[in-house]
Amino acid sequence: MTYPKAQLHHSLPLLLICDNIRDPGNLGTILRSAAGAGCSKVLLTKGCVDAWEPKVLRAGMGAHFQVPIINNLEWETVPNYLPPASRVFVADNCGLYAQALMSNKASDHGWVCDRRFLKFRKYEEEEEDLETGARKNWLPEIEVQNYDLDWTEAPAAVVVGGETHGVSLESLQLAESTGGKRLLIPVVPGVDSLNSAMAASILLFEGKRQLRIKAEHLSRDRSYH
């Protein structure tokens, strides 16, 4: 498939990975935001709804013909589609809770994580070293940062998970292996996590903003020489 030259011209070193996005309306909206932000491509892992399903097409409003979409990927093949030196960032409202659990101070943060991370935590607690009986911490320990701090110094891929199953363990492992982080969009206590499409839109356009500022600074520096 060929894509509009204007879209390719404005394409950014910003890539989206959809992880277990199963709602057609959400996926279509996410694709529409990815096209609007100028993503270079969108990767869909196995478990996502088919990008070409009619409800996804309707919600996408033409996005399918504006940004390359690669469907039905196994996690082990995802790195093959990332630019060299890419860093993977995970949209994860559980990041601060994960850090707090490691220091046993979850209550200090005044909020708790949703059920998706608690599933990870349950498995983590159940896994023990068979020889020593010690608990094994297999959940990747990834640094957390607010979404509006700089994370676009290298080609960036953002993982957004579905609302039912959340992000997969494989996405966290990929973020850890590439030096990525958890990106936290703070919400006030008592408010549930954001809709997946809303979170994706916020992060993609924040990435676009950061890249625009970098380009402006580079252009200004060149004009001085």
pLDDT in tens, 19-40: 999 999 999 999 999 999 999 9
For residue range 121-171, what is the model confidence (pLDDT) as tens digits? 444 444 555 555 555 556 788 999 999 999 999 999 999 998 877 889 999
DSSP lists the bridge partners of residue 14 as: 156
In this structure, are residues 45 and 76 in contact, taking their beta carbons and an 8 Å threshold? no
Q: Where are the beta strands (DSSP E) in 58-139?
A: 69-73, 87-91
pLDDT band for position 119 (50/70/90)?
Answer: very low
Instruction: Note whether residue 118 is domain-resident.
Output: no
Q: Does any domain span residue 5?
A: no
Classify residue 116: in a domain, yes or no.
no
Q: How far apart are the first and last CA of the chain?
A: 41
Note the pLDDT of residue 102.
Answer: 42
In this structure, what token pair is assigned to residue 7?
A: 């879209």
β-pair partners for 166: 162
Q: Does a structural domain hold residue 35?
A: yes
Asked, for residue 4, whether it belongs to a domain, the answer is no
Q: Rounded distance, CA 159 to CA 155, Å?
A: 13
pLDDT at 187: 86
> Which pLDDT score is estimated for 114?
43
* Phi, psi dihedrals of residue 31, rounded to the nearest 5°: -65, -40
Output the pLDDT for position 108: 38
| 75, amino acid identity | W
With respect to residue 107, please indicate whether it lies within any of the assigned structural domains: no
**3-state SS class at 41:** strand
Candidates 161, 118, 155, 121; CA nearest to 137 is 121
Q: Tell me, yes or no, whether 154 lies in a domain.
A: yes
Q: What is the residue range of 184's domain?
A: 14-100+140-224
- In this prediction, residue 8 carries a pLDDT of 59
Do the domain assignments include residue 1? Answer: no
Q: E strands, the chain, where?
A: 14-19, 41-45, 69-73, 87-91, 144-146, 156-161, 182-184
Whole-number pLDDT of residue 106: 36
Q: What is d(CA 40, CA 83) in angstroms, rounded to the nearest whole number? A: 10
Summarize pLDDT for 160-219 with one digit per residue, the tens. 998 877 889 999 999 999 999 999 998 888 877 789 999 999 999 999 999 999 988 777
Single out the residue of 15, 25, 45, 40 nearest to residue 167, CA to CA: 45
Burial 10-21 (b: 16+ CB within 10 A, else e): eebbbbbbbbbb
User: What's at 220, amino acid-wise?
Assistant: R
Tokens of 202: 């916020």
Q: Is 146 helix (H, G, I), strand (E, B) or coil?
A: strand
Decide if pLDDT at 105 tops 50. Answer: no
| CATH number for 90 | 3.40.1280.10
Looking at the predicted structure, is the pLDDT value of residue 53 above 80? Answer: yes
Least confident of 6-10, 43-47, 66-70, 188-192: 6-10
For 143-171, b where at least 16 C-beta lie within 10 A, e where not — what string? ebeebeeebbeebbbbbbbbbeebbbeeb
**What's the domain count of the chain?**
1
